[in-house]
């Protein structure tokens, strides 16, 4: 049985990028001959869950240089299957798996390593492989499997690229980000940055993140737990969890320490599942962000310091400013952003816009005020929100116009009216999401909760029941959003 590598497109393009290097290495090495010294070491790590697993295999050549390789291993029995893999061509017969090198990673000098990986299914024995051989020689090494998701960053990306977010990846293959060692959104894309008007991944390619927003943490904490986030990551295939921390309405201002800890705990849960975490300082009423400036500085200093080493965090510094000028919002941003950057210099920061983050449209304005007076900071995006049953063509046209010159992020939208209730509007929601997909504008939907309102994905009572995966627990908006979000991502790596 032959498996197409999941990343075949990426592999083919990457092959071109490193061909020169590979050719140079092999040319400089002695020819492989029958008496060549052999040896290999394999480090196998895996995350397993009920029925599925992701395996990563680091291969180190301890023998003489080789120009291609065939790696074989044996599963406990034929109940474990490689479903899709990358960085090799896989085939399986019974419990025996064969992975053959690609053009670009076949050449391994003495001591050189390469990493391959795959997603698998299992039904009987725990899927721990044994007897790795490289070109017929038994390898030494270690095997580690852990239940997934764990709190450890084991599903996160391979080494991140250079610290400077604005730099494009170096053309030298030796310093470019290596092939991802996992399949989660964060494992593939790594630390994000703004490039032009887009959100770009560690390969400097424009991507779109699709995900869900929590409801207010002060009300719906019971909806955010391992089971619900497993469903979001693995059943919905979401890329993004927006963590909506209200500041007023019994939120952050009532207990800064507890809410800060709650946000950090959710950042960790997102990270453990390879999802990005959007930390939303959910100001709403009062609409002037300056009212919460001191709180924002305190909060962001804490979360940025605590999460600085992570590559899955994005900061949204004010949810929906309203009743204030763009200049006031910009002044707020230029005071809060330096606080974040002092602790976490490379993270993307998203700034709200006038009129409940409508780019001013809901207060009779338009995007020109932002286009002509951008926030004085790098690596910044701007917020646009809409509620599909209330906001239609004129809002969408303004977003599209703005997106030609501003990096835009839809950190919140509803499929219903702006009240969070009313009828689910499928046709308007479809028109909106088609536009966001086309423009690669990232989004989070309001809400991943069981609130008694039509914007909630889940039926009331779902969070008390504890089952989140599948469609039986969903309201109309949740059914629609799940079907939109779980389609394949487009995360280019070359
Ligand atoms: C709504 C909630 C609702 C809550 C209300 C006040 O759905 O349960 O009572 O906030 O806190 C926004 C805001 C978001 C709103 C949402 C729907 O960012 O907080 O949530 N909305 O009204 N902007 C436009 C709509």
Q: pLDDT tens across 212-233, in order?
A: 999 999 999 999 999 999 999 9
In this structure, of 30-44, 144-158, 269-283, the range with the lowest mean pLDDT score is: 144-158
Nearest CA to ligand 1 atom 24: 418
Average pLDDT on 327-333 reads: 98
Nearest CA to ligand 1 atom 15: 420
- Read off the pLDDT band of 328 (50, 70, 90): very high
Q: What pLDDT is attached to residue 144?
A: 75
d(CA 387, CA 100): 50
- Rounded distance from Cα 379 to ligand 1 centre (Å): 28
Q: What pLDDT is attached to residue 61?
A: 92
Is the per-residue pLDDT at 145 higher than 80?
no
Is the per-residue pLDDT at 169 higher than 70?
no
d(CA 252, CA 263): 10
Q: pLDDT tens across 80-136, in order?
A: 888 876 678 999 999 999 999 987 779 999 988 887 877 778 877 777 888 899 999
Ligand 1 is surrounded, with C-beta below 6 A, by 249, 284, 319-320, 356, 385, 387, 412, 418-420, 446, 451, 453, 455
Cβ partners under 8 Å of residue 111, min gap 6? 60, 61, 62
Which numbered atom of ligand 1 lies nearest the CA of 412?
A: 18
Q: pLDDT tens across 337-379, in order?
A: 999 999 999 999 999 999 999 999 999 999 999 999 999 999 9
Nearest CA to ligand 1 atom 12: 418
Q: What pLDDT is attached to residue 55?
A: 80
CATH topology of domain 188-485: TIM Barrel (3.20.20)
Q: pLDDT tens across 179-217, in order?
A: 888 899 999 999 999 999 999 999 999 999 999 999 999
User: Do 22-138 and 188-485 agree at the fold level?
Assistant: no
User: For residue 382, what is the DSSP state?
Assistant: E
Is the per-residue pLDDT at 250 higher than 60?
yes
- Rounded distance from Cα 371 to ligand 1 centre (Å): 27
Which numbered atom of ligand 1 lies nearest the CA of 357?
A: 23
C-alpha distance across the termini of the chain, in Å: 28
Nearest CA to ligand 1 atom 1: 420
Nearest CA to ligand 1 atom 13: 284
Residues with catalytic annotation? 320, 412
Nearest CA to ligand 1 atom 4: 420
Is the per-residue pLDDT at 441 higher than 80?
yes
Q: Compute the radius of gyration of the chain from its Cα atoms.
A: 24
- Rounded distance from Cα 431 to ligand 1 centre (Å): 22
Average pLDDT on 130-154 reads: 70
Average pLDDT on 266-272 reads: 98
d(CA 435, CA 116): 36
- Rounded distance from Cα 230 to ligand 1 centre (Å): 25
Q: What pLDDT is attached to residue 147?
A: 60
Q: What are the residue ranges spanned by the domains of the chain?
A: 22-138, 188-485
pTM for the model: 0.69
- Rounded distance from Cα 305 to ligand 1 centre (Å): 29
Average pLDDT on 157-166 reads: 37
User: Domain spanning 22-138: which CATH class is it, in words?
Assistant: mainly beta
Which of 353, 411, 420 is the pocket-test mutation for ligand 1 (most atoms within 8 Å of CB)?
420
Cβ partners under 8 Å of residue 181, min gap 6? 56, 115, 117, 157, 158, 187
Which numbered atom of ligand 1 lies nearest the CA of 249?
A: 11
Q: What pLDDT is attached to residue 158?
A: 37
Nearest CA to ligand 1 atom 20: 420
Which of 284, 449, 477 is the pocket-test mutation for ligand 1 (most atoms within 8 Å of CB)?
284
- Rounded distance from Cα 476 to ligand 1 centre (Å): 18
Alpha helices for 382-439 (secondary structure H): 393-403, 426-439
Q: pLDDT tens across 49-92, in order?
A: 667 677 889 899 999 999 999 999 999 888 888 887 667 899 99
Which numbered atom of ligand 1 lies nearest the CA of 319?
A: 18
- Rounded distance from Cα 284 to ligand 1 centre (Å): 8
d(CA 95, CA 129): 9
Q: What pLDDT is attached to residue 91?
A: 92
Average pLDDT on 28-57 reads: 71
Cβ partners under 8 Å of residue 311, min gap 6? 156, 157, 160, 186, 190, 191, 192
- Read off the pLDDT band of 30 (50, 70, 90): very low
In this structure, of 54-68, 287-301, 316-330, the range with the lowest mean pLDDT score is: 54-68
Alpha helices for 346-392 (secondary structure H): 354-357, 368-371
Using a pLDDT cut of 90, give the percent of the chain over it: 71
């Amino acid at each position: 049985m032959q498996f197409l590598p999941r990343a075949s497109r990426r592999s083919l393009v990457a092959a071109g990028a490193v061909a020169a290097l590979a050719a140079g290495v092999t040319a400089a090495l002695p020819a492989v001959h029958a008496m060549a010294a052999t040896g290999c070491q394999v480090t196998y790590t895996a995350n397993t869950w009920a029925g599925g697993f992701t395996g990563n295999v680091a291969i180190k050549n301890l023998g003489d240089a080789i120009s291609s390789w065939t790696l074989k291993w044996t599963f406990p029995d034929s109940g474990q299957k490689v479903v899709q893999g990358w960085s090799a061509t896989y085939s399986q017969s019974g419990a025996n798996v064969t992975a053959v090198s690609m053009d670009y990673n076949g050449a391994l000098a003495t001591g050189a390593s390469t990493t391959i990986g795959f997603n698998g299914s299992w039904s009987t024995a725990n899927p721990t492989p044994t007897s790795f051989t490289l070109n017929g020689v038994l390898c030494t090494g270690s095997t580690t499997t852990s239940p997934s998701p764990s709190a450890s960053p084991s599903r996160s990306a391979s080494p991140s690229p250079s610290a400077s977010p604005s730099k494009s990846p170096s053309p030298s293959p030796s310093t470019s980000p290596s092939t991802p060692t996992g399949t989660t959104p964060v494992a593939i894309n790594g630390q994000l940055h703004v490039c032009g008007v887009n959100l770009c991944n560690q390969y400097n390619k424009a991507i779109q993140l699709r995900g869900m927003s929590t409801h207010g943490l002060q009300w719906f904490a019971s909806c955010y737990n391992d089971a619900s986030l497993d469903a979001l990551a693995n059943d919905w295939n979401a890329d993004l969890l927006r963590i909506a921390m209200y500041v007023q309405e019994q939120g952050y201002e009532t207990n800064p320490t507890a809410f800060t800890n709650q946000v950090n705990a959710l950042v960790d849960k997102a990270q453990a599942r390879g999802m990005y975490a959007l930390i939303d300082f959910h100001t709403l009423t009062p609409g002037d962000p300056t009212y919460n400036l001191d709180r924002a500085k305190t909060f962001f200093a804490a979360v940025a310091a605590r999460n600085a080493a992570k590559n899955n965090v994005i900061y949204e510094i004010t949810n929906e400013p309203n009743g204030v000028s763009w200049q006031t919002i910009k002044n707020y941003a230029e005071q809060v952003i330096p606080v974040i950057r002092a602790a976490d210099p490379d993270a993307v920061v998203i700034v709200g816009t006038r009129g409940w983050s409508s780019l001013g449209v809901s207060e009779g304005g338009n995007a020109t005020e932002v286009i002509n007076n951008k926030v004085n900071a790098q690596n910044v995006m701007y917020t646009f929100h809409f509620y599909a049953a209330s906001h239609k063509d004129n809002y969408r046209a303004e977003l599209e116009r703005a997106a030609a010159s501003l990096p835009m992020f839809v950190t919140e939208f509803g499929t219903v009216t702006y009240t969070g209730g009313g009828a689910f509007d499928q046709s308007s929601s479809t028109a909106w999401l088609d536009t966001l997909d086309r423009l690669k504008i990232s989004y989070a939907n309001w809400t991943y909760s069981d609130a008694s309102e039509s914007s909630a994905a889940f039926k009331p009572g779902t969070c008390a029941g504890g089952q989140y995966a599948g469609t039986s627990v969903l309201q109309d908006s949740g059914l629609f959003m799940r079907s939109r979000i779980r389609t394949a991502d487009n995360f280019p790596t070359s």
